[in-house]
Amino acid sequence: MLTWKEIINFCVKGNPKPEQRVEKTEAEWREILEPEAFRVMRKKGTEAPHTGALCSAHEAGKYNCAGCNTPLFDSTIKFESGTGWPSFTQPINENAIQYEKDNAFGMVRVEVMCNTCDAHLGHVFPDGPQPSGLRYCINSASMRLQEAGSQI
């Protein structure tokens, strides 16, 4: 299980290697992503709270990257944070996510990105529920829910 200390280590010393890499030009991403997903994922935007389609999703399944379809989170680690964004306590695999220190807006936060295609997903905070104490706060637009038993 990942802890805040390990995440800070990833920020400082480098992220774990992904299973594979998906790289596209900005024009290619613009072609395949919905406009809101493009704004969030490739321009580091944030969707308005309580607007995301996956915010109140409770179906069993995996939350895949909307850009490259890599599984990022799953429904068993989703929790209701009350923030208005889908929230998780752990990634599905340790190397699914990359972490970077984000100093935007005068705050020091840890940005989380898809480790396969570098898409912006959201941020992670050290105020989640035990045992990990982590709260991954993720934009709905960055993910696609693959319901258990279905194929995308």
Asked if 67 touches Zn ion (CB under 5 A), the answer is yes
Separation CA 97–CA 120 (nearest Å): 10
Per-residue binding string, Zn ion, 116-135, x by CB under 5 A, is xx-x----------------
CB 130 → Zn ion: shortest distance, Å? 29
Single out the residue of 7, 54, 55, 68 in contact with Zn ion (rule: CB under 5 A).
68
Separation CA 98–CA 84 (nearest Å): 23
Nearer to Zn ion, 37 or 110 (CB): 37
CB 115 → Zn ion: shortest distance, Å? 8
Q: For residues 63, 73, 14 and 113, what is the CA-based torsion angle, rounded to 10 degrees?
A: 30
Question: 149: left (phi > 0), else alpha (psi -120 to 50), else beta?
Answer: left
Nearer to Zn ion, 33 or 114 (CB): 114
137 flagged as catalytic: yes
Residue 59 buriedness (CB in 10 A; 0-12 / 13-18 / 19+): exposed
Instruction: Return the number of other C-beta atoms located less than 10 Å from residue 86's C-beta.
Output: 27
Separation CA 65–CA 120 (nearest Å): 10
| Residues contacting Zn ion: total by CB under 5 A | 7
CB 4 → Zn ion: shortest distance, Å? 23
CB 99 → Zn ion: shortest distance, Å? 15
Single out the residue of 55, 114, 137, 145 in contact with Zn ion (rule: CB under 5 A).
114
Q: Which residues bind Zn ion (CB under 5 A)?
A: 65, 67-68, 114, 116-117, 119
Catalytic residues: 137
